[in-house]
Each structure stands twice: as C-alpha cells, then as structure tokens.
Structure 1
Amino acid sequence: MSDQSYDNIPRATSESSDELDSLPSTSASTTSVSPSEEEWQSDAEREWKESLQQLELLLTMVLVPYLGKYFGRKAAYWGWTKYMEWNYPVKIEITNPGLFKGIGAVEAAASL
C-alpha cells in the first residue's frame, strides 16, 4: 500500500495531547484510602450486588409464581362461584367447612 491511503486518518496534534494531559488523573483523588480499604470496599460492593441478584432471582423464580398460583386460584374460585350463583340461583347456607365435609361423608356413605 502507498502512504497516500493513510492521508485521511486523523493524527494527534500537540493541541489535542495538551487537552488530554490537562485532564485530572484518578490517582489525584482528594480522599486518601489505602489499597486494602479500596479492595475491601470493592469486595463488599461486589458481594452486595450478588446478594441483590440472588434476592431478585428468589423473587422472580419462587415467590412470584407461587403467589400468582395462589391468588389465581382464589380469583378463579371467586369468579366461578359468582358465575354459578348468577346462572343457577340456588341458596346454600353451609359456611362451616367441617359441616360441609361431614355432609359429604354422610352422602358418600349413603350412596354405598
């Protein structure tokens, strides 16, 4: 290749390098923290982020589906009950679960 193909590439000028040299460096920070403290802080921050990620996974993969299943069934049962009461207006006054199970056991024994 010839040198002419490189003519379009911008070159660093002394003006742009002066601008870069004038930028503040990271080592000139106002707080003096020892390397071991910086390492401890970065480790603590990393562990904190990992803990948050684990908590997020727990919520999205365990708690949300379980609660969705529970409240979904409650809503379906409530909706089906309302539909059946509207479609077939029969009044059943059994509100005690023990009595309901007892009546079912008596009916099952009577059918034998």
Structure 2
Amino acid sequence: MSMTNSASFIEPPNSSSDADAMDSLPSSPTSSSVDDDEYVSDAEREWRESLQQLELLLTMVLVPYVGKYFGRKCAYWGWAKFMEWKYPVEIVVSNPGLFKGAGAVEAAASL
C-alpha cells in the first residue's frame, strides 16, 4: 500500500459534502445491533465455561450422591424409630464410624 491510501484511512480529506453529511447526522447516540457476546473477552468466556462445568459436576455427581447418602441415613433413622415404637426393641449402632462408612459405600455403589 502507498502512503496516500493508508493516510486516507487515518485522516479523511475535508470536503464540503462530507461536512454537510456530518451535520445531518443525529446528535444522540444510537444503539447498535451487535451482540454483546462479540465483546466478551476470552477470560470471561473461559470463566463462564468453568462455572458451567462446576454446575454440571454439582448437578450430575455431588447432589445425587449426597441426596442418596442422607436419604439412606434418614430411612435408617426412621425405621429405627418405627421399630422402637411398634415393638419393644432398642436399636443400637455399635460402631458409628463403620455404619457411616458403609452408608457412604452403599450410596456410591450405583454411581
């Protein structure tokens, strides 16, 4: 490219027709129809993707596992209360750590 071509992009030549055209433009800013996604930086796009991956991890893995674990725990507690109410038995967990571990293993078995 020559200097005259590149200079015309930097500083347009002044002419009376261009000045008249500039005077007729509206003075208020107009809204463009360009999507905001075009202006989103790469870092913002990666941040949104990582948040989406975390959301998928929560909804697909952690929530079902935690729900299943606490559901079993609630069911065992409810069954023990029912058995104590219905029959004269006392339900005692002799090793609570083993009981919690077995519940965690059973909850993860079908995942």
In the superposition, the TM-score normalised over structure 1's length comes to 0.50
Deviation at 1:81, TM superposition (A): 0.4
- Rg larger for: 1
Q: CA deviation at 1:89?
A: 1.4
Aligned length: 67
* Counterpart in the other structure of 1:72: 71
C-alpha deviation, 1:73, in angstroms: 0.1
Partner of 2:55: 56
- The Cα of 1:66 is off from its aligned counterpart by 0.2
CA separation in 2, counterparts of 1:54 and 1:74? 29
Shift of 1:25: 6.2
Distance of aligned partners of 1:63 and 1:80 in 2 relative to their CA distance in 1, 3 Å threshold: same
Please, which runs of 5 or more residues in structure 1 have no aligned partner?
1-17, 27-38, 98-112
Gaps of 5+ in 2: 1-23, 32-38, 96-111
Aligned equivalents of 2:93, 2:73: Cα separation in 1: 17
Match of 1:84 in 2: 83
1:96 to 94, 97, 105: 94
**Is residue 24 from structure 1 mapped to residue 23 from structure 2 by the alignment?**
no
Q: Hey, what's the Cα distance between the residues in 2 that align with 1:77 and 1:95? A: 11
Distance (whole Å) between structure 2 residues aligned to residue 72 and residue 62 of structure 1: 15
TM-score, normalised on structure 2? 0.50
Q: Deviations over 1:27-53 (max 9, x none)?
A: xxxxxxxxxxxx8x6000000000100
Structure 1 stretches of 4+ with a deviation exceeding 3 A read none
Q: Which amino acid aligns with 1:24?
A: P
What SS does the aligned partner of 1:24 have? coil
| Higher RCO (CA-CA < 8 Å; seq separation 6+) | 2
